[in-house]
Chains A and B, each alone.
Chain A
Amino acid sequence: LFKGTALTEQEWEELEEVLLRADVGVAATQRIVGAMRSRRDVADGMAALKDELVSALGHPDRSLKTKPGGTTVWLITGVNGVGKTTTIGKLAAQLRDEGRSVVLAAADTFRAAADQQLERWAELSGADIVKHAPGADPAAVVYDGVAAAKARARDVLIVDTAGRLQTKKNLMEELGKIRRILDRETGAPEEVLLVLDATTGQNGVAQARAFAEVAGITGIVLTKLDGTAKGGIVIAVQQELGIPVKLVGLGEGIGDLASFDPDGFVDDLLG
């Protein structure tokens, strides 16, 4: 689109607009465009922008960690309705396809039919499930999940948690407690994943910051990328917090999960 030895003011604004529209946010957009403008050699605006975005996403380790010779533990967190439970179903199916045995811990004991929803995913993915009565202490489900995974020598324990807005101090403390239980019982979880909805605006960065503080986030699952939202907030999450995207959700079906490809992501973002 933009060719020539220097971009006009109008062309710079158009590049900013692309980023703002993608939920990259004002601050990150100013950083990125600022970095581009300080380069003398911007001939092709879109190509330069692509380079800038890909480099902003960096080269962190995007693999999901496992524990050799023991039970791998993955803790799944995030605000309400982002796709935690569905993502767990997809992960369990992927693990089964890799020949690994899975236990799911239904530690969302609050929301109506949360256990039944996870139970259905356990059926579909061939995983075991540990659940208590609705209203039970989530910590008790976590303890039982760990015990079951060890007793049955399962390869992976995935812990589903209730959605919680990061503004809810008591719920964030509950999550911290769940993290500490896992630390004591099995050692630090191999992954503590924050599920972010691609339609989320700037609040996504606040979510990542708060969840990182309380639970220590090792990676992001960016869901609902099959919609039209670009999920640009993950750029600020990487730049400001150093938290990498590991997985993307591409639909509601059991197979709709893929590893994060920065190049493809940036191509889609720039449309």
Chain B
Amino acid sequence: TLSERIEGIFGRLRSRGRLSEQQIDEVLREVRLALLEADVHTDVVRAFVGRVRERAMGEEVRKALTPAQTIVKIVNDELVEILGRTTSPLTWSPKPPTVIMLAGLQGSGKTTAAGKLARLLKSKGKRPLLVACDLRRPAAVEQLKLLGDEVDVPVVARTGMTAVDVAATGVEEARRLMRDVVIVDTAGRLHVDEAMMSEAAAIRDRIQPTETLFVADAMTGQDAVNVATAFLERVDYTGIILTKLDGDARGGAALSIAQVSGRPVKFASTGERLDAFEPFHPDRLASRILG
């Protein structure tokens, strides 16, 4: 782990009392490698290490009885700071229904997340409604309908309409059926697909979501920054869902996405089953990223 590597450096250099700049540089090299191996974007790593360096040169480390542990704590604090410090709840609309839109790249886990969110909110006493706005992928609507059946949540699906119109219909149906939260599943799309990004923006404009959640795969590498930035600019999102955390990817993409978007990670998907879904805990991911 990174903390072991850092302890090892101090042990090896046998320092007592003040840390030398050389020791600090060696530690920072380890931090940089750990973050890059964890898939954190090179620019995010650079800025992060810069901030840690500044703090490492300061009083808190200079006066520390155990400087190694203090530096590890600084790294951890800085990570948690970016990831959102505490769990971040959903925002509710003052006037129901609350509309939640899901967006993201192909295969990131949106449709499954829609089912999971519906299940979670229902367990909290809400009356969710699912809306099937992926009109592209073969059997996408069927997939969402099956998930809706599984959690006993109604699904709005329409043929002969654009995705934007289905979304609007979904919100109307929520009012008609007195459902208090609408969860809109959308097609996976590339951030460089102009037509599809326009569609996403059009859906957002039409249904005015209180929450737009960017669904991101925890195993994403350096491309996370390109995607997160483009989706922020074209679609805008209020929060992030991180998926497939039950794998062993370190999850550094989450740090990159949180850093460049400034948006909090709200939920963690930790398995294929619909109950594998929980509020996101920044401190847990911080220790995972550090390995």
A residues at B contact (CB < 8 Å): 17, 20-23, 25-26, 79-83, 110-113, 116-117, 119-121, 165-168, 197-204, 206, 224, 226-230, 233, 252
B17 interface hit (Cβ, 8 Å): no
> SS class of chain B's interface: helix, strand, loop or mixed?
loop
B1 at the interface (CB under 8 A from A): no
Report which of A25, A112, A229 forms a contact with B223, defined as CB distance below 8 A. A229
Beta-carbon nearest neighbor of A20 in chain B = B42
Please give, as numbers and ranges, the residues of chain B lying within 8 Å of A165 by CB-CB distance.
Answer: 244, 246-248
The 10 closest A-B pairs by CB, nearest first: A201-B221, A81-B107, A201-B39, A120-B138, A229-B223, A203-B249, A113-B143, A116-B139, A112-B146, A117-B139
Q: B residues within 8 A CB of A111?
A: 143, 272
- Distance in angstroms between the alpha carbons of A83 and B137 in the assembled complex: 12
Cβ-defined partner of B221 (8 Å) among A23, A80, A112, A167: A23
B244-A202 in contact (CB<8A): no
B82 at the interface (CB under 8 A from A): no
Question: Are A206 and B248 in contact, CB atoms less than 8 angstroms apart?
Answer: yes
A127 → B minimal CB distance (Å):
14
Extra 6 A-B pairs, beta carbons < 8 Å, given A20-B42, A202-B249, A203-B247: A79-B219, A111-B143, A112-B142, A165-B244, A203-B249, A230-B223
Given A26-B36, A203-B248, answer yes or no on A227-B143 (Cβ-Cβ < 8 Å). Answer: no
Q: Is the CB of A199 within 8 A of B221?
A: yes
By a CB distance below 8 angstroms, the chain A residues around B272 are: 80, 110-111
Chain B residues with Cβ below 8 Å from A20 are 36, 42, 222
Q: Which of A20, A22, A227 has the most CB of B within 10 A?
A: A227
- Among A25, A81, A119: residue with most chain B CB under 10 A: A81
Chain B residues closer than 8 Å to A121, beta-carbon distance: 138
Q: Give, as a whole number of angstroms, the nearest-CB distance from B89 to chain A.
A: 27
Q: How far is the CB of B176 from chain A (nearest CB, A)?
A: 26
15 A-B pairs within 8 Å (CB atoms) are namely A20-B36, A21-B222, A80-B107, A111-B143, A112-B146, A113-B142, A117-B138, A165-B244, A199-B220, A200-B221, A201-B219, A201-B221, A202-B39, A203-B219, A228-B226
CA distance A218 to B36 in the complex (A): 29
Residues of B at under 8 Å CB distance from A?
A: 33, 36-39, 42, 105-109, 136-140, 142-143, 146-147, 150, 190-192, 217, 219-224, 226-227, 244, 246-250, 252-253, 272
Evaluate contact between B217 and A81: CB separation under 8 angstroms. yes
A214 CB → nearest B CB, Å: 15
A22–B143 CB distance below 8 A = no
Are A112 and B222 in contact, CB atoms less than 8 angstroms apart? no
Set of chain A residues within 8 Å of B192, measured between Cβ atoms? 226-228
Q: How far, in whole Å, are A227 and B33 apart by their CA atoms in the complex?
A: 26
Looking at the complex, which one of B138, B223, B253 makes contact with A116 (CB distance below 8 Å)?
B138
B132 to chain A, nearest CB (A): 11
Please report the C-alpha to C-alpha distance between residue A22 and residue B246 in the assembled complex, in whole angstroms: 25
Q: For residue B253, which residues in chain A have a CB less than 8 angstroms away from its CB?
A: 201
CB atoms of A26 and B33 under 8 A apart: yes
Nearest CB of B to A210, in Å: 9
Nearest CB in chain A: distance from B178 CB, A:
27
Residues of A within 8 A of B143 (CB): 111-113, 116-117
| A146 CB to nearest chain B CB (Å) | 25
A200 touching B220 in the complex, CB below 8 Å, given contacts A20-B42, A26-B36: yes
Q: A227 to B192, alpha carbons, bound, how many Å?
A: 7
Q: What is the minimal beta-carbon distance from B291 to any residue of chain A, in angstroms?
A: 11
**How far, in angstroms, from A200 to B146 measured CA to CA in the complex?**
28
A235 CA to B190 CA, complexed, in Å: 24
Residues of the A chain whose Cβ atoms lie less than 8 Å from the Cβ of B37: 25-26, 202
CB distance from A224 to the nearest CB of B (A): 7
A228 to B190, CA, bound (A): 9
Cα(A226)–Cα(B106), bound, Å: 12
The residues of A that contact B190 with a CB separation of less than 8 Å are 224, 226-227
Q: Which residues of B contact A226 (CB under 8 A)?
A: 190, 192
Assess whether A166 is in contact with B247, with CB atoms less than 8 Å apart: yes
A94 to chain B, nearest CB (A): 18
B48 → A minimal CB distance (Å):
15
Asked whether A227 lies within 8 Å of B42 as measured between CB atoms, the reply is no
Report B-chain residues with C-beta under 8 Å of the C-beta of A204. 219, 221
- Using A21-B42, A165-B244, A203-B249 as known contacts, say yes or no to A113 and B146 having CB atoms under 8 A apart: yes
The CA of A269 and the CA of B217, in the complex, are separated in Å by 22
